[in-house]
């Protein structure tokens, strides 16, 4: 208890997205970009997945990266 461990949330884009939300809530911003890169490597990303990823990039101030997606 009290440990931030999102290792089991690595299976697909929505799981990684939830890991990103948890990291953001816990102010673990150093982990967010790593998780974003991991989410972009998931096979079969849907347009909704890409929109979620872009939203997070915009949220953390990486607006150019968000617009790329």
Indicate whether 63 pLDDT > 60. yes
Residue 4's pLDDT is 58
Cβ atoms of 36 and 56 within 8 Å: the answer is: yes
Cβ atoms of 49 and 13 within 8 Å: the answer is: yes
* CB neighbour list of residue 22: distance below 8 Å, 6 or more residues apart: 4, 6, 9
Q: How far apart are CA 33 and CA 8, in angstroms?
A: 18
Please write the tens of the pLDDT for every residue from 10-38: 678 888 999 999 999 999 988 999 999 99
Residue labelled with tokens 């948890």: 22
């Amino acid at each position: 208890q009290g440990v931030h461990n999102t290792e089991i949330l690595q299976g697909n884009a929505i799981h990684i997205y939830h890991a990103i939300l948890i990291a953001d809530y816990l102010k673990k911003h150093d982990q967010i970009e790593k998780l974003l890169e991991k989410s972009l490597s998931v096979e079969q990303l849907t347009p909704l997945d890409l929109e979620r990823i872009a939203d997070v990039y915009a949220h953390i101030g990486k607006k150019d990266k968000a617009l790329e997606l």
